[in-house]
Structure 1
Amino acid sequence: MTSASPASSRLIATVDALRTALAQSPDVLSHTLGGTIDEESAAAAEADGVPREFLDFCRVLDGASCGPSVQLFGLEEAEEHQFYCEPVAGSLLPLSPEKLYCVGMVHEAPVFLDRAGGGVLGAPHAGPDWVDAERFDELAPGVTAFFLDRLATYDAYRRLAEVDDELVEYDDWLKLLRRAGLAG
């Protein structure tokens, strides 16, 4: 039997810390963290074309609602948002369901998993006008890295979510990161 990779071990430890902090935080919305998907659901989803990397992530954490402007979808919600992968007339973005899989939203802009390279792509700086962006930025080399390095890292999440100084104490995700010992 092989051991878990360092990234998956770190993901499991991070999610465990977040779940523990959430259980002890009645002031934080309980739907912040999703559950997990089972092997049967994962196999069926993979047969339907859901990327394995996303399914591996969902086996540990089936979505996270980090705040009003940042969300990483669980499997069911991701399946409902694949219309974002469809080409849009006049857009310069390389939209294609064969090439992309929508895994979340940041500032009303979809975040995609590149099916070929595995990177997480998006144009969050463009917000709801994301289709007018000239290109996607690589937000992370993969879904696990996107969660660990951009969402479960206090300063990186704060920058991505654009939480200003006056609102830090009111942001539930930042509270949860602090309580889980992930504030830096």
Structure 2
Amino acid sequence: MTSANPGASRLIATVYALRTALAESTDLLRFTLGGTIDEETAADAEADGVPREFLDFCRVLDGASCGPSVQLFGLEEAEEHQFYCGPVVDSPLELSPEKLFCVGMIHETPVFLDRAGGGLLGIPDEHREWVDAERFERLAPGLEAFFLERLATPEYARLASLDDESVEYDDWLKLLRRAGLAN
């Protein structure tokens, strides 16, 4: 990822603000933000079929635990969760490891990077069991956009289904506020 890409610069600045706020917040969980992956690790993973978009994100942020209901995987954890991409008997979804790469979970439902289109895909909210969904819902044009527009903003509270009572106890929302990313 180069700094010539304005999105990359924004991602780097956002992650820096989050890391700074986390370092100053002794009351928040340390494992909230993952580290970064190096070029050698990224090259090896790409040779093994991991999508470049995911690896570019991991070069800046190798996973984020945004509270109990929203998580973006780091490289190692993502590799362990690719079983979600495989076909499921009687599921109407077109699941395929060649088409999808699992990058996280929202409310115990996998989130996928579309290998062909690059978009981030999830399951519409109305489905209780994700394998019963009839279609995917596009959550964002890509992983970086999803993080910057949905997780590193006040939009996170809606995505995580936080009610008025739980908002004050959510560590990710506290971190966003301390980093100046949410009010």
Q: Which band: TM-score by shorter chain?
A: over 0.9
Counterpart residue number, 1:88:
88
Contact 1:106 1:124 (8 Å CA) reproduced: no
Question: 1:21 and 1:4 mapped to 2: Cα distance?
Answer: 26
Alignment pair present for 1:100 and 2:103? no
Identical-residue share of aligned pairs (%) = 79
Contact 2:63 2:75 (8 Å CA) reproduced: yes
Contact 1:103 1:113 (8 Å CA) reproduced: yes
Contact 2:120 2:139 (8 Å CA) reproduced: yes
Q: How much does 1:4 deviate?
A: 2.4
Query: What is the root-mean-square deviation in Å for CA atoms of aligned residues?
Result: 1.2
SS at match of 1:37: coil
Counterpart residue number, 2:36:
36
Q: Structure 2 unaligned runs (5+)?
A: none
The 1:73/1:7 distance shift into structure 2, 3 A limit, reads same
Q: Structure 1 unaligned runs (5+)?
A: none
Counterpart residue number, 2:24:
24
Counterpart residue number, 2:67:
67
Paired residues in the alignment total 182
Question: 1:169 and 1:22 mapped to 2: Cα distance?
Answer: 17
Partner deviation per Cα, 1:39-73 (whole Å, 9 max, x = no partner): 00000000000000000000000000000000000
Write the mapping of 1:1-184 to structure 2, written as runs, cut at 5 A: 3-123=3-123, 125=125, 129-154=129-154, 156-184=155-183
Contact 1:109 1:124 (8 Å CA) reproduced: no
Partner deviation per Cα, 1:118-176 (whole Å, 9 max, x = no partner): 0000116257610011111000000000110111011x101100001111110000000
Give me the TM-score of the superposition, normalised by structure 2.
0.97
Contact 1:109 1:128 (8 Å CA) reproduced: no
